[in-house]
Amino acid sequence: MGLGWLIKVYVSSEVEEKFRRLAMMVYGYGKGSISKAAEDAFLRWIMQHEAMLKEVNIPEDPVGAIKGMLSNVKKSGVDLQHEARKIIALKATTSI
C-alpha cells in the first residue's frame, strides 16, 4: 500500500478507542496499523454498498421519472403543499 490521500473523519471516542485497540491487535503496534485497518474498513464498506446499489434501478433522468409518475395528478405543487400541511396538522391534533 503506497501513500494515498488523507481522509479526516470524526467518530465518537468509544468507536475511536475500540478501533485503535483492535487495529493494533490485528495489524501490530507498528507504524501504519491504523491506516491499514481504516483502509480495510473503507474497502469493506465500499464493496457492501456497491453490491447493494447495483440492485437499485436509478433512472437516468430522475426528474423526468417523477414527472411521469405524477402526470395524472391534477393539483398544483402549491395545492399539494397546502393539503400536506392540513393532513399533518390533523394527524398532530388527533394523536394527542
Torsion of CA 80, 81, 83, 87, to 10 degrees: 130
Higher pLDDT, 69 or 8: 8
Cα dihedral 69→72→74→76 (10° resolution): 10
Q: Is the pLDDT score of 87 beyond 70?
A: yes
Residue-level pLDDT at 47: 94
Structure confidence by residue, pLDDT tens digits, 43-86: 999 999 888 888 877 778 888 878 777 788 888 889 999 999 99
Residue 51, pLDDT score: 86
Taking only the tens place, the pLDDT of each residue in 13-48 is 999 999 999 999 999 999 999 999 999 999 999 999
Please report the pLDDT score of residue 58 as a whole number. Answer: 76
Say yes or no to pLDDT of 1 above 70.
Answer: no
Please determine, for residue 5, whether its predicted confidence score (pLDDT) is greater than 80: yes
Secondary structure (3-state) at 29: coil
